[in-house]
């Protein structure tokens, strides 16, 4: 998706490689050739690896497929391809190491959680997830995670991080939370927020 004279993936990768991250796996399925063309012209060409799902595997299945078909080390970050956050990845990683849990989710405070659903956390751990539709101030999943490979043991084929893996981890008190207090969180999944993202980026430059 174009943002000024760039595409959104440029912004994500710029942020990622400012942190001490060596390479990125792009999980692909729909029109993978567009991403291959992008990579061939990217300054990060040597740091990007594509893995194409044979069929849509869901948010969890996509990560599991990469684990099984790559040499990815543990722990590793996972990021949504359509969310922007001010999250400090280095600080998140340091907190993750201190928690000694198999997974961590980034959460951001927003004025209205209705579109996203909310996350309830206590003492650095996620206690529960509330369904979408409830209005008001609260914490939401901002699409940034850290996992150890062991978090995916017992899962296979197509499954969801949000509906399958996270509830299991919460039930075992194994999902850490990392709070982003004053975030400019944008999920560009709807036209209004895509426009908001484009306008926000123009202000930065």
Angstrom distance (rounded) from CA 142 to CA 79: 9
Asked if residue 196 has pLDDT above 90, the reply is no
- Strands 186-187 and 118-122, sheet pairing: unpaired
E strand or H helix at 3? strand 2-3
Asked if residue 204 has pLDDT above 80, the reply is no
Residue 81's contacts (CB-CB under 8 Å, 6 or more residues apart) are 8, 9, 12
Strand pairing partners for 133? none
Which of 183, 147, 180 has the alpha carbon at shortest distance from 166?
A: 147
**What's residue 190's pLDDT?**
84
Query: Which domains does the chain carry?
Result: 2-204 (3.90.550.10)
pLDDT band, residue 155 (cuts 50/70/90): very high
The count of residues in the chain is: 205
What is the tens place of the pLDDT at every residue in 26-73? 999 999 999 999 999 999 999 999 999 999 999 999 999 999 999 999
pLDDT band, residue 131 (cuts 50/70/90): confident
Distances (CA, A) of 188 to 1, 82, 102, 194, 198: 10, 6, 29, 4, 10
What average pLDDT does the structure give for the chain? 92
Residue 124's contacts (CB-CB under 8 Å, 6 or more residues apart) are 95, 99, 176, 177
**What's residue 173's pLDDT?**
97
What is the tens place of the pLDDT at every residue in 94-123? 999 999 999 999 999 999 898 899 999 999
pTM score, whole prediction: 0.93
**What's residue 178's pLDDT?**
98
pLDDT band, residue 6 (cuts 50/70/90): confident
Range in 112-121, 172-181, 188-197 the model is least confident about: 188-197
**What's residue 200's pLDDT?**
79
**What's residue 159's pLDDT?**
97
Asked if residue 201 has pLDDT above 90, the reply is no
Query: What are the structure tokens assigned to 106, written together?
Result: 């980034």
**What's residue 189's pLDDT?**
79
Residue identified by tokens 């391809």 is 81
Q: How many CB atoms lie within 10 A of CB 119?
A: 25
**What's residue 205's pLDDT?**
54
């Amino acid at each position: 998706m174009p943002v000024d004279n760039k595409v959104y993936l440029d912004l994500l990768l710029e942020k990622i490689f400012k942190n001490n991250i060596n390479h990125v796996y792009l999980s692909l399925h729909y029109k993978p050739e567009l991403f291959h063309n992008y990579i061939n012209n990217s300054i990060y060409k040597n740091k990007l690896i594509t893995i194409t799902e044979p069929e849509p595997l869901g948010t969890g299945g996509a990560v599991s497929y990469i684990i099984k078909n790559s040499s990815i080390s543990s722990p590793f970050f996972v990021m949504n391809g359509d969310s922007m956050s001010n999250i400090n990845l280095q600080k998140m990683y340091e907190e993750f190491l201190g928690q000694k849990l198999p997974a961590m989710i980034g959460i951001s405070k927003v004025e209205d959680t209705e579109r996203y659903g909310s996350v309830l956390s206590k003492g650095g751990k996620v206690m529960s997830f509330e369904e979408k539709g409830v209005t008001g101030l609260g914490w939401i999943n901002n699409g940034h995670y850290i996992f150890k490979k062991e978090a995916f043991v017992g899962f296979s084929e197509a499954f969801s991080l949000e509906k399958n893996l996270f509830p299991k981890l919460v039930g075992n008190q194994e999902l850490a939370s990392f709070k982003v207090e004053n975030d400019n969180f944008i999920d560009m999944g709807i036209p209004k927020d895509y426009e908001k993202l484009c306008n926000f980026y123009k202000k930065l430059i």
